[in-house]
């Protein structure tokens, strides 16, 4: 078994119930995160995410948009890898941030520390 996929521990991902598709979505979110608008809440910085733009990045997923939201994003939230918050602005905007279990996916937590240094995002445990 390849120990690391997209910079994440495959063994830990399996223990969390995450799939390859979940890790790909997480990788895309992290890649796009620095370009996304931010909003500060009491518990940290959330990134304003348009699920449709993430969904458009992975046409190989043979699922519907609603299944993408429910299963791919839902699995990441359920596992504690990301946190989701509804933000009220012009309509409902979804905010995502790195969750408390994110650092567990990184071999020895190195990936999370590198992200913290690069982005300055205090939400990375």
Cross-sheet strand order for the sheet of 44-49 = 38-41, 44-49, 91-98, 82-89
Q: Given pLDDT bands bounded at 50, 70 and 90, which one contains residue 114?
A: low
Please tell me the pTM assigned to this model: 0.76
Q: Which domains does the chain have, with CATH numbers?
A: 4-119 (1.10.10.10)
- pLDDT tens, position by position, 15-39: 999 999 999 999 988 888 888 888 8
DSSP 109: G
The per-residue pLDDT for range 53-106, each reduced to its tens digit, is 888 888 888 888 888 888 899 999 999 999 988 776 555 568 888 888 998 887
Measured CA to CA, the distance from residue 55 to residue 42 in angstroms comes to 29
pLDDT at res. 52: 83
């Amino acid at each position: 078994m390849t120990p690391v996929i997209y910079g994440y521990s495959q063994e830990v991902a399996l223990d969390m119930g995450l799939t390859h598709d979940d890790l790909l979505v997480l990788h895309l979110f992290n890649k796009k995160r620095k370009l996304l608008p931010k909003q500060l809440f009491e518990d940290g910085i959330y990134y304003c995410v348009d699920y449709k733009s993430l969904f458009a990045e992975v046409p190989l997923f043979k699922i519907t948009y609603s299944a993408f939201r429910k299963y791919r994003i839902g699995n990441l939230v359920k596992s504690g890898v990301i946190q989701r918050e509804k933000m009220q602005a012009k309509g409902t905007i979804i905010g995502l941030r790195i969750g408390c279990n994110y650092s567990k996916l990184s071999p020895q937590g190195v990936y999370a520390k590198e992200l913290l240094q690069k982005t300055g995002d205090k939400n990375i445990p």
